[in-house]
DNA sequence: GTGGTCTAGACCACT
DNA sequence: GTGGTCTAGACCACT
């Protein structure tokens, strides 16, 4: 599982309106929620992450500041950023909220366009198919 | 003619990262897809929309420019913006794509956090409940 | 020739950046240059022209004001607008200048894109073909 | 790299009915078609171009937005606007279409004024002379 | 430094 | 009244 994560394709979506630093923070939260990064462990350094994501170190630093302020990670001078105690549980909660929010956003837009519940459920199933196809690549 | 739309709440989310002008464009697309605005009909004027949304007219203008360039709407000088022929079908297609994209986004994030399919499906159902509760208020 | 002109398709290009009133003025100048409207004759009334071109009478009025100011037509109270003395010759000159300007515009743009003289001359010949095909419809 | 472009005269025609932002977009397309700006290279920044043309940065921004939406150029945050892959070919196509359109416009106006083909061809040759004289200054 | 979004306000063409 | 263009200037994300 840990190995899989490092090999994963760069998760930054250039076209998204979500700032890159927030995408990075979200990425770390997911890894904490998934148990890829465990309490007390170091997360990848700013420099390493910047290289992997082909992004400016300042952008990664800003993401890490967000994570530190919200209590997901703790800075240890001269060492790096450590995953905080009980961070996994709160990261899971965060992930669930984010997921539900994304679903609500989709449903609300679909209802505004007067798509039927049946059609929307169908689109949800299709989203699963697409996700799995891309996931196996 | 007058009722349906004037009662709708102002749909602008200030905190969203999605630019206001794109939120407005999306809102018009939904109304076209839903048949609220029909081919040949005028959509609300730039100034009227700006007043309703408490937004600068330039911002609405930009949304309408996007809609015109993508062919949803046609500008008629001195008259207003008309819904284009066959705009409803393409707006429906747009809505379906946007919906599936939102669902994929949610699923992908959930899988990254190692939430189970069962849990994710449950969150989808909850999103429906939340949507309906807010929708009926 | 006179009949042909009245039956000609509406020459207003909605997508052009040239204001409609100037397109109308240009249209009258061409008719004067072509001898369709002769010195001393009345040109079509504002109302008739507005109906033919499906345009607001104010717009036609503005075009006619331009033509009067430049001396192509003369207003006769209660009667209408008459083609001025020697208007044909100056209208011809105007048409020639406008034609050369259009050609220069095309050539300049083509040279900026580094199209060869050979290619540009070819495009000129194609423009003739296209014009004739559409003219015979 | 530096020379060719900085020496070019400011190409904005204040009196033209074509909006300044479209003139700027057209100018960039020509440079791409001509190979002055190549795929992957940065085009001049919004601010630099605004200063050079003595125009508001928003106007240049709008031109660049048009170029991005049509796929001529790709925005890279914090870096600048890059010429897209295969942009040269489409820019050439665009230039040829614009050239033929300008010629058709000239021919159509001339025919409406009943100028002879002989005279029109003569005006085309004169347009070449004028262009070359001004080009060599 | 780079591009992206938004506001405020002016002036134009057309109905 | 309608939409279209432009200026001036602010603030944001990213390099």
**Average pLDDT over all residues of chain D:** 91
Phi and psi of B110, rounded to 5°? -65, -40
Q: What is the pLDDT of residue D5?
A: 46
pLDDT of residue A2: 42
Alpha-carbon distance of C94 to A15, in angstroms, equals 51
pLDDT over 90 (residue D10): no
Structure tokens given for B66: 């996007």
CA distance B81 to chain C (A): 14
pLDDT tens digits in sequence order for chain A, 137 residues long: 444 444 456 689 988 999 999 999 999 999 999 999 999 999 999 999 999 899 999 999 999 999 999 999 999 998 999 999 999 999 999 999 999 999 999 999 999 999 999 999 999 999 999 888 665 44
Put simply, the answer to whether D100 touches C126 (Cβ < 8 Å) is yes
CB distance from C56 to chain B under 8 Å?
yes
Q: Please answer whether residues C66 and C20 qualify as being in contact, where contact means their C-beta atoms are separated by less than 8 angstroms.
A: no
DSSP letters for C17-67: SS-HHHHHHHHHHHHHHHTSS-TTPBPPPHHHHHHHHT--HHHHHHHHHHH
Looking at the DSSP assignment, which residues form a beta bridge with residue B82? B42, B74
Nearest to B37 by CA among B79, B1, B75: B1
The reply to whether the CB atom of residue B17 sits less than 7 A from any atom in nucleic acid chain E is no
Share of chain D above pLDDT 90, in %: 85
Task: Let me know if A63 is exposed, middle or buried by CB neighbors in 10 A (0-12, 13-18, 19+).
Answer: buried
For residue range B30-84, what is the model confidence (pLDDT) as tens digits? Answer: 999 999 999 999 999 999 999 999 999 999 999 999 999 999 999 998 999 999 9
Cβ neighbours of B95 in A, within 8 Å: 109-110, 112-113, 115
| Touch A-B: 3+ C-beta pairs under 8 A | yes
Smallest CA–C1' separation from B42, nucleotide: F2
Residue B53: C-alpha distances to residues A17, B6, B48, B122 (Å): 21, 11, 9, 35
- The set of residues, in sequence order, having a beta carbon less than 8 Å from that of B42 and lying 6+ positions away, is B79, B80, B81, B82, B83
3-state secondary structure of B91: helix
Q: Which residues 63-102 on chain D approach chain A with CB closer than 8 angstroms?
A: 77-78
Give the CA-to-C1' distance from D17 to E12 in angstroms: 11
Using the CA of B78, which nucleotide's C1' is the nearest one? F2
Please state, in angstroms and rounded to a whole number, the distance separating the CA atoms of residues D38 and A58.
30
* D17 close contact with C: CB closer than 8 A: yes
Question: How far off is chain D from C129, nearest CA to CA, in Å?
Answer: 9
A-chain residues near B114 (CB < 8 A): 33-35
Helices D20-34 and D87-112: angle between axes, nearest 10 degrees = 120
Q: Do chains D and C touch (3 or more CB pairs under 8 A)?
A: yes
Three-state SS for C12? coil
Distance (Å, whole) CA A46 – CA A61: 6
Q: What sign results for the dihedral spanned by CA atoms B30, B15, A10, B113?
A: negative
Asked whether strand E has any atom less than 7 Å from the CB of C16, the reply is no
Give chain D positions within 8 Å (CB) of A20.
Answer: 77
Q: How far apart are CA A15 and CA B128, in angstroms?
A: 28
Q: DSSP of B4-33, one letter per residue? A: HHHTSPP---TT-SS-HHHHHHHHHHHHHH
Structure token digits, residue B96: 């379906």
D47 touches strand E (CB under 7 A): yes
In chain C, the residue whose alpha carbon lies closest to the alpha carbon of B79 is C56
Q: What is the pLDDT of residue B11?
A: 81
pLDDT of residue D2: 38
- Start-to-end Cα distance in chain A: 16
Quick one: residue C109, left, alpha or beta (phi over 0 = left, psi -120 to 50 = alpha)?
alpha
Report the distance separating Cα B29 and Cα B23, nearest Å. Answer: 10
β-strands D80-83, A73-76 pairing? unpaired
* CA pair distance B62, D22, nearest whole angstrom: 16
Task: Identify any residues that bridge with B73 across adjacent strands, giving them in sequence order.
Answer: B83
Output DSSP code: residue B74: E
Contacts of B113 in chain A (CB under 8 A): 29-30, 33-34, 91-92, 95
Q: Which chains touch A (3 or more CB pairs under 8 A)?
A: B, D
- Helix B87-112 crosses helix B20-34 at what angle (to 10 degrees)? 120
Radius of gyration for the alpha carbons in chain D, expressed in angstroms and rounded: 17
- Classified as helix, coil or strand, A105 is helix
Q: Using one digit for the tens of pLDDT, what is the confidence trace for B101-120?
A: 999 999 999 999 999 999 99
**Measured between alpha carbons, how far is B96 from C61 in angstroms, rounded to an integer?**
49
Q: Which nucleotide is nearest to C53 (CA to C1')?
A: E14
Nearest in space to C9 (alpha carbons), one of D117, D103, D108, B80:
D108
Q: What are phi and psi of D9, to 5 degrees?
A: -70, 155
The position carrying tokens 């992450």 is A49
DSSP-derived secondary structure letter, C10: P
C21-77 pLDDT tens trace: 999 999 999 999 999 999 999 999 999 999 989 999 999 999 999 999 999 999 998
The pLDDT value given to residue B124: 98
- At residue B78, the 3 state secondary structure works out as coil
- The three-point CA angle A13-D67-B21 to 5° equals 60
**Rounded distance, CA C95 to CA D60, Å?**
34
CB D81 within 8 A of CB D75: yes
Q: What is the arithmetic mean of pLDDT over D49-74?
A: 96
User: Which runs of consecutive H residues, i.e. helices, occur in chain A?
Assistant: 2-7, 20-34, 46-53, 57-69, 87-112, 117-136
- Counted across chains A and B, CB pairs separated by less than 8 A come out at 134
pLDDT, residue C134, reads: 63
Q: How many CB atoms within 10 Å of residue B47?
A: 11
Tell me, rounded to whole angstroms, the distance of Cα A103 from its chain centroid: 16
The nucleotides of chain F lying under 7 Å from a protein CB are 1-9, 13-15
Tell me the pTM: 0.89
DSSP per-residue letters across chain D: --HHHHTSPP---TT-SS-HHHHHHHHHHHHHHHTSS-TTPBPPPHHHHHHHHT--HHHHHHHHHHHHHTTSEEEETTTEEEEPTTHHHHHHHHHHHHHHHHHHHHHHHHHHTT--HHHHHHHHHHHHHHHHHHHH-
Count, residues in chain C: 137
Instruction: Please tell me the predicted confidence (pLDDT) of residue A45.
Output: 95
Cα-based torsion angle of the residue sequence A117, A122, A127, A130 in order, rounded to the nearest 10 degrees: -170
């Amino acid at each position: 599982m840990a190995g899989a994560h490092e090999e994963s394709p760069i998760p930054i979506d250039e076209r998204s309106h979500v700032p890159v630093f927030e995408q990075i923070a979200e990425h770390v939260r997911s890894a904490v929620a998934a148990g890829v990064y465990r309490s007390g462990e170091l997360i990848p350094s700013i420099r390493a992450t910047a290289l992997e994501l082909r992004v400016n170190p300042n952008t990664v630093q800003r993401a890490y500041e967000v994570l530190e302020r919200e209590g997901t990670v703790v800075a240890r001078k001269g060492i790096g950023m450590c995953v905080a105690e009980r961070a996994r549980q709160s990261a899971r909660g965060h992930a669930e909220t984010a997921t539900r929010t994304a679903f609500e956003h989709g449903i609300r837009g679909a209802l505004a366009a007067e798509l039927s519940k049946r059609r929307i459920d169908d689109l949800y199933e299709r989203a699963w198919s697409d996700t799995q196809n891309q996931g196996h690549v």
